[in-house]
Amino acid sequence: MRTLLLDCNYFPVKIISWQKAMILYLSERAEVVDHYEDKLIRTVSKSFKLPKVLRLFQTHKLSHTVKFTRMNVFYRDQFQCQYCSIKLPPGELTFDHVIPVSQNGATNWENVVTCCKSCNTAKGSKSLNQCGMTLLKRPRKPRWSPELCLRLLDDDPVEWWNFFPRQKLAS
């Protein structure tokens, strides 16, 4: 079981284990905003409902950078091949260096895009001019957003979405 941790202003900070959630709660560094109705933790003398959402009492310094990862590139590009515009599940996607590594292209936000396997094979280690392909949009480092930094799973509570700002993913 996982717990959504909020800062003192109810902004999502991270998703933590139930054990860490209980430590924060019992050490009086956080309060329970919501709990799982059917999940209990028992000690010899007490029982506690498992926290679903916790709020920190003190301010939390939040890093406003998005880590460069394969999955975050997919999220930035909305799981869409940046050459042929087809949308695919993550297992069928790869990423491509716009300027190939063989031509001193860097592995960073500005040079890597989401790509389907057939476009990646067609492009190979050629530049866009050499292969005649064009990008849907220029790759950029995304601005920080909780959707990029906190991954909700299918079995996570739907109520967690209420704490996420309603915005389109920045690209």
Which pLDDT tens digit goes with each residue over 13-24?
Answer: 888 999 999 999
Asked whether the predicted pLDDT for residue 168 surpasses 50, the reply is: no
- Domain with 46 in it: 2-62+146-163
Residue 159 lies in a domain: yes
Query: What is the average pLDDT value for the chain, to the nearest integer?
Result: 87
Residue 140 lies in a domain: no
Residue 30 lies in a domain: yes
High-pLDDT (> 70) share of the chain, %: 87
Q: Quick one: the chain helix, strand, coil %, rounded to 5?
A: 25, 25, 50
Band (98; pLDDT cuts 50, 70, 90): very high
Q: Same domain for 53 and 101?
A: no
Residue 138 lies in a domain: no
Residue 171 lies in a domain: no
Amino acid identity of residue 26, one-letter, is L
Q: Where are the alpha helices (DSSP H) in the chain?
A: 18-26, 70-76, 117-123, 128-131, 146-149
- What is the number of structural domains in the chain? 2
Asked whether the predicted pLDDT for residue 171 surpasses 50, the reply is: no
Residue 62: its pLDDT value, please? 63
pTM confidence score:
0.59
Q: Same domain for 15 and 42?
A: yes
In this predicted model, which residue has the larger pLDDT, 67 or 170?
67
